[in-house]
């Protein structure tokens, strides 16, 4: 054996990098700082893409959506305590939305933290992370890094995907061990997200229920988009002839213009259907918890639910046919049954959906054609609807209230996983992090359609977008405020609580970092500016002036706001 002093050595820094690379992870989204600055530098030197942000929340959101897009855990790397805390909102949001990501944070030494001796950025991060994520691990010894990274990867992507926390104390990085021992300690995770095949009896029960339906409906959730079982999902809809409603991030699994799409007839579809197949869609608030007037007569609905998490069943209402397994396997099993024995599409039900859909589209059409100035949401979105129709492989990032709710119904999507938005929590602030990761992971042009308030949560990342010269076109719907720009302070002392600086010019921000800034006041100008940005691939911010009177408080969900019943004094 080679004498010890000449033996090849490795250390914690290199073992973390080797473990990530061994598992096909090529990108790290981070904010540098003690104790992980050199980890980022060394990872970059070893060929990993290391994207440095201005705030850890945005790096975390980037990692989360990278996980959604690639089915590999996105990696967010932060410093200890405050940096870790800044990453937690993204970690919790990833877990809520079932996006696979790993938040890796440097931390203080256990002996000091556990005696609370006041270390630099001291915090018991593992304990704090645990309730907010799917799994959390800490590694103390360099020889355990391989297993630690493997466990984090498997936890992030197996079963229902989610956020995982990996705690790496500062001293771990500089620990030195024999290189050969280190190499042998690394684990390449075998089959990290194993198929989970539904039980044949469950499939039969679901098929029997579906065959009994007169007005069946399929609801596609973002789980169906994440699964990347696109052909099977399309075949299930087209070969059964059952109409479908896509949830927001499932839009584009089939083109929104598809003859079986019931998106534009959502209310009728939910109210009048009799058997509903949920595919990776949870019966949470976004689907009115499966009850109430949205779903018509109480008890008139029977649900078939496809989900990889058995405990999701009966979360809100009884599930008549639980189909537990991964979405690809479950959809394939249903499809198999349909191909063997299916009565064909429910024609009269389809006619009901089709006529409702056409009527709703016709009602909306004139609003989209207005060439008004200042623009309203509809006229501005009419221009962007055409952009995406002409550029179906562009990725649309979307957040805001009116800017979100109206865009969801007006901008048709044509391909899977092209619409990235606020998801289950309706969280503001995902915009720029999602835009960066969408551009980095796919290389496709990104159109970020932002409310002016929503943009503000992550707006400083325009510098990051310019620094990496990413093909991101940001359109800010500037109505001078949160929801609207008309709020007032009844005392007359301050501006209203939800308004911003009047006639603000976000486009000027972009010029500070070498990007392109454009101010537009009509849909034609907006379309031209976006086309130019998409053709150039240059970081562009378009300040789209929207009538401050336009829109409504909290967009489509104003009813969730509690109202005071007391008379004002
Ligand atoms: C982290 C977080 N903090 C606050 C909020 C509450 C909210 C929901 S929507 C929104 C912004 C609406 O204004 P915007 O200008 O973006 O859109 P528009 O209606 O077109 O004017 C806020 C602040 C949420 N959801 N998440
Ligand atoms: Mg606004």
pLDDT tens per residue across span 246-270: 999 999 999 999 999 999 999 999 9
* pLDDT over 60 at 29, yes or no: yes
Which one of the ligands is nearest to 380 CA?
1
495-517: pLDDT as tens digits: 999 999 999 999 999 999 999 99
Residue 553 is predicted with a pLDDT of: 84
Mutational test site, ligand 1, from 55, 376, 425, 428, max ligand atoms within 8 Å of CB: 428
* pLDDT over 60 at 2, yes or no: no
307-358: pLDDT as tens digits: 999 999 999 999 999 999 999 999 999 999 999 999 988 999 999 999 999 9
Q: Which of 137, 193, 134 is nearest to 168 (CA)?
A: 137
Least confident piece of the model among 366-375, 506-515, 522-531, 554-563: 554-563
Minimal-distance CA residue to ligand 1 atom 18:
483
Mutational test site, ligand 1, from 401, 422, 504, max ligand atoms within 8 Å of CB: 401
* pLDDT over 60 at 1, yes or no: no
Residue 551 is predicted with a pLDDT of: 86
Q: Phi and psi dihedrals of 47, rounded to 5?
A: 95, 0
How confident is residue 555, by pLDDT bands cut at 50, 70 and 90? confident
Which one of the ligands is nearest to 381 CA?
1
* CA of residue 401 to ligand 1 center, whole Å: 5
How confident is residue 469, by pLDDT bands cut at 50, 70 and 90? very high
The string of DSSP codes covering 371-435 is: --SSB-HHHHHHHHHHHHHH-TTSEEEEESSHHHHHHHHHS---STT-EEE-GGGT-TT-HHHHH
Mean pLDDT of the chain: 96
Instruction: Write down the residue that tokens 């800044």 correspond to.
Output: 86
The string of DSSP codes covering 8-50 is: -EEEHHHHHHHHHHHTT--EEEE---TTTHHHHHHHHHTT-EE
Residue 121 is predicted with a pLDDT of: 83
> CB–CB of 54/31 below 8 Å?
yes
* pLDDT over 70 at 451, yes or no: yes
The predicted complex's ipTM stands at: 0.99
Instruction: Quote the pTM value.
Output: 0.97
Instruction: Write down the residue that tokens 């060439």 correspond to.
Output: 371
The ligand 1 atom at the shortest distance from the C-alpha of residue 89 is 1
The answer, yes or no, to whether any atom of ligand 1 lies below 6 A from the CB of 555, is yes
Mean pLDDT of 277-300: 96
Q: In whole angstroms, what is the distance from residue 101 CA to residue 478 CA?
A: 32
Helix (H, G, I), strand (E, B) or coil at 127: helix
Mean pLDDT of 156-166: 98
* CA of residue 374 to ligand 1 center, whole Å: 21
* pLDDT over 80 at 158, yes or no: yes
> CB–CB of 58/83 below 8 Å?
no
The answer, yes or no, to whether any atom of ligand 1 lies below 6 A from the CB of 483, is yes
Mean pLDDT of 211-223: 98
Strands 74-78 and 101-107 come out as: parallel
Minimal-distance CA residue to ligand 1 atom 3:
428
Q: Which residues contact 521 (CB under 8 A, 6 or more apart)?
A: 373, 374, 375, 545
The answer, yes or no, to whether any atom of ligand 1 lies below 6 A from the CB of 485, is no
Minimal-distance CA residue to ligand 1 atom 6:
428
End-to-end C-alpha distance for the chain, whole angstroms = 87
Q: What is the DSSP letter of 210?
A: H
Q: Which residues contact 20 (CB under 8 A, 6 or more apart)?
A: 28, 43, 48, 75, 149
Residue 7 is predicted with a pLDDT of: 77
Q: Phi and psi dihedrals of 414, rounded to 5?
A: -120, -10
* pLDDT over 90 at 569, yes or no: no
The answer, yes or no, to whether any atom of ligand 1 lies below 6 A from the CB of 241, is no
* CA of residue 248 to ligand 2 center, whole Å: 20
């Amino acid at each position: 054996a080679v004498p010890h002093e000449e033996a090849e050595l490795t250390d914690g820094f290199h073992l973390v990098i080797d473990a990530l690379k061994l598992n096909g992870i090529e990108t790290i989204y981070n904010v540098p700082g003690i104790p992980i600055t050199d980890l980022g530098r060394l990872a970059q030197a070893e060929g990993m893409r290391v994207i440095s942000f201005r705030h850890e929340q945005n790096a975390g959101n980037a990692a989360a959506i990278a996980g959604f897009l690639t089915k590999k855990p996105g990696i967010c790397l932060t410093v200890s305590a405050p940096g870790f805390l800044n990453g937690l909102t993204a970690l919790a949001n990833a877990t809520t939305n079932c996006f696979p990501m790993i938040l890796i944070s440097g931390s203080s030494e256990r002996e000091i933290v556990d005696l609370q001796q006041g270390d630099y950025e001291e915090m018991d991060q593992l304990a704090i992370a645990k309730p907010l994520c799917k799994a959390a691990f800490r590694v103390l010894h360099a020889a355990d890094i391989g297993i630690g990274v493997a466990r984090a990867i498997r936890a992030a992507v197996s079963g229902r995907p989610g956020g995982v926390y990996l705690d790496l104390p500062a001293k771990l990085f500089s620990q030195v061990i024999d290189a050969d021992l280190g190499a042998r300690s690394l684990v390449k995770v075998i089959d990290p997200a194993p198929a989970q095949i539904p039980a044949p009896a469950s499939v039969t029960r679901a098929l029997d229920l579906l065959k009994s339906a007169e007005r069946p409906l399929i609801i596609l959730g973002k789980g169906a988009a994440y699964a990347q079982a696109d052909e099977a999902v399309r075949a299930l809809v087209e070969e059964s002839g059952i109409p479908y409603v896509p949830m927001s991030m499932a839009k584009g699994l089939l083109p929104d213009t598809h003859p079986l799409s019931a998106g534009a007839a959502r209310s009728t579809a939910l109210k009048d259907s009799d058997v509903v197949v949920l595919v990776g869609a949870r019966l949470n608030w976004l689907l009115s918890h499966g009850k109430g007037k949205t779903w018509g007569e109480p008890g008139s609905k029977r649900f078939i639910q496809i989900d990889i998490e058995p405990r999701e069943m009966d979360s809100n209402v009884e599930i008549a046919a639980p189909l537990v397994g991964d979405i690809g396997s479950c959809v394939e099993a249903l499809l198999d049954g349909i191909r063997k024995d299916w009565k064909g599409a429910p024609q009269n039900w389809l006619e009901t959906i089709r006529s409702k859909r056409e009527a709703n589209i016709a009602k909306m059409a004139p609003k989209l054609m207005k060439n008004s100035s200042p623009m309203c949401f509809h006229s501005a979105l009419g221009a962007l609807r055409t952009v995406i129709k002409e550029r179906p492989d562009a990725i649309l990032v979307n957040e805001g209230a009116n800017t979100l709710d109206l865009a969801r119904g007006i901008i048709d999507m044509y391909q899977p996983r092209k619409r990235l938005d606020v998801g289950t929590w309706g969280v503001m602030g995902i915009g720029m992090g999602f835009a960066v990761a969408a551009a980095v992971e796919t290389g496709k042009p990104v159109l970020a359609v932002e409310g002016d308030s929503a943009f503000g949560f992550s707006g400083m990342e325009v510098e990051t977008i310019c620094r990496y010269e990413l093909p991101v076109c940001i359109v800010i719907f500037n109505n001078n405020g949160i929801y609207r720009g008309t709020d007032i302070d009844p005392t007359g002392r301050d501006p209203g609580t939800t308004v911003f600086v009047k006639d603000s010019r976000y486009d000027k921000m972009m010029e500070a970092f070498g990007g392109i800034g454009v101010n537009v006041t009509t849909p034609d100008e907006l379309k031209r500016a976006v086309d130019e940005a998409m053709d150039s691939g240059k970081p562009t911010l378009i300040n789209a002036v929207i009538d401050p009177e336009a829109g409504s408080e909290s967009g489509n969900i104003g009813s969730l706001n509690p109202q005071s019943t007391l008379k004002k004094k």
